Chain A
Amino acid sequence: MSEEPSTLADIPGLLRIENAGKEELTAHCMELTHAVYPHHQVYGRYCTIHEYVDCPPEQVYDYLRQGHHLEEWTCSLRDFAPSGTPGLWVGHDRLENDTRIYCEVVANPAAMTVDYHCAWDQGEKLWMIYLMRVVPARLVLGEQGSVITWTNCRHPHYDANPYPEKAPRPDRPWVGDYWDLFYAGHTLEMNNLKAILEHRHRNGLPLGVAPARPVTR
């Protein structure tokens, strides 16, 4: 028996020019437009920030895809070294004492996306994912340089540590306790990233640095 194809008319709640009309669409948009938005509404489930960096996009991408540079521009990720699993690095998140952070970089040169798949305390399930994308500013802002976007999604593990037994001590605060500060914390880190890239690019210096603990390939 062949499935009848779904038609859009069967789907409730669609707002399209065919069924709503221009004025109704506009009115809907007006209703959704407020003067201010509460923090939790904007940054409650997703935290997206963005920044302009005066540095060529290919070079920005190249800097980001090398995970050891996290030691330069993040506030608290340090001492990365190979974990023994290919592609997986382990370092310290100095946000909390004795806290290990595992990280794998998943990068796509064509799209210039760099995703850091991370987790505290263990490297088997990397659920804490930082999604970054470099966009040529020429395309979107009509000027040289790059636009960087950075999104985190509130995985349920932020709200409850899935492996409490792996914590260095029972009273160690959990990374998800900081979720409400992610907008602020990530903004600080984005500012670091911008400052490093712009300084080196402006002064004709190499953008990247060698890893402190080189991995034998």
Chain B
Amino acid sequence: MTAVSLVDVASYLPGEPVPAEFYTEYPAAEDKLRDHPMFKVPPSRHHVAADETNADMVERAVQPLIERHGREEIRGVDVLLVHSQLPDLPFVGAGTEVARRLGLNPEWLVDVANAGCASFVYMLKLARQILTTTDAKTALICNAQSAAGQWFTQSQVRRLAQAAIPGDGCGVGYVTTSSDAPILDVETRHIGEYAGEMTVAADDGRKYWEPGQSQLRIGFSDASVAKVLARGNRLVPEVVTDLCRRLGVATTDIDTLITNQPNRTFLRNWREALRLPGERHPNTFDEYGNLFGAAIPITLDRALSSRRIEDGNLVVLAGFAHAGDFAGAAAVRWRGTRG
């Protein structure tokens, strides 16, 4: 079987850091929950600019890859996979616009609209499959998250405890048929049972495209938050444990675990469940908040930049999506190509 490697990642954070006070000192801000780990406000996050699109962010995030691997090499990718939240257009993803900007001519282009916060893992699996079974040799996978500066800054939503948690950003990965940093295995689960439980909430019940005064936000009842906590607690350790079992290693052999980062409680629980010390589970929650799907590639990029990952390390990327409708984990034997 052809070896497929995640050879590099890069990222982009829009604008200047936005301090917690943007939310906590907003008139009528909900402050009862500020001291709880589930809702504790990250000190900082980034927001997309008013006119900044997902394609803008991907274009900027890819620049370091172009610098490190050459413009022609990146332009030559055979596969382009893009996940973006919020979509800039309701009827088409950002993929073709990304291709236009970067001058790509991929044979395979998929706008992935499932797998949410763990979509980087799912796109790794897709890329590996396409690179293993076709003539395709290289893939670019992109996660753009632009909900924080758009949805959660709306006048009525901004005062809610949930608004202060998300942050915007974009992470991209470069995947090739090589054995530089092989993707050892990927474990994914689509869990239909939990589909559709994360909703767009509008107080007047209008469809998102219908005109009206209500401001859209992510819908969560207390009960479903509790359910999602229980599912997340279970799902991420499960997929990581199954992945490790297939690889014949213990979870404690993971050198670096990088997950999505909905809040500090999940980060703590996953680390505990997999019996890993904090230093082996880096996150960027305090700096960037909940980055949704972009968290995994951005945190991986930061961990590499700060030299927290050494050659030969077993790196596991894992997460779950939405209200638990997807969970996935990927293992990479890291060998740096950044020089």
> Interface on A for B, CB 8 Å cutoff?
20-24, 26-31, 33-36
Contacts and interface: CB of A to CB of B under 8 A. Distances in A.
B272 A36 contact: yes
A65 B38 CA distance: 47
Interface in B244-273: 265, 268-270, 272-273
Interface stretch (B135-143, B227-235, B289-297): B227-235
Contacts of A21: 32
Given A23-B161, A26-B226, A27-B39, A35 B33 contact: no
Interface of B: 30, 32-33, 36-39, 161, 222, 225-226, 229-230, 233-234, 237, 265, 268-270, 272-273
B240 to A, nearest CB: 11
Contacts of B237: 35-36
A20, A27, A34: residue with the most chain B Cβ atoms closer than 10 Å: A27
A56 to B, nearest CB: 34
Nearest to A22: B222
B230 A33 contact: yes
Nearest to A20: B32
Contacts of B230: 33
A22 B30 CA distance: 13
Contacts of A36: 237, 269, 272-273
A203 to B, nearest CB: 39
Contacts of B270: 35
Contact of A35 (B222, B226, B273): B273
Nearest to B271: A35
Given A23-B222, A26-B222, A35 B38 contact: no
A42 to B, nearest CB: 13
A37 to B, nearest CB: 9
A27 B234 CA distance: 19
A35 to B, nearest CB: 4
Contacts of A33: 229-230, 233, 265, 269
Nearest to A33: B229
A24 B32 contact: yes
Given A33-B265, A34-B273, 4 more contacts: A21-B32, A28-B36, A31-B38, A35-B237
A20 B32 CA distance: 8
A20 B38 CA distance: 16
Contacts of B37: 30-31
Contact of A30 (B30, B38, B272, B273): B38
Nearest to A27: B36
Contacts of A30: 36-38, 225-226, 229, 265
A29, A31, A35: residue with the most chain B Cβ atoms closer than 10 Å: A35
A33 B270 CA distance: 12
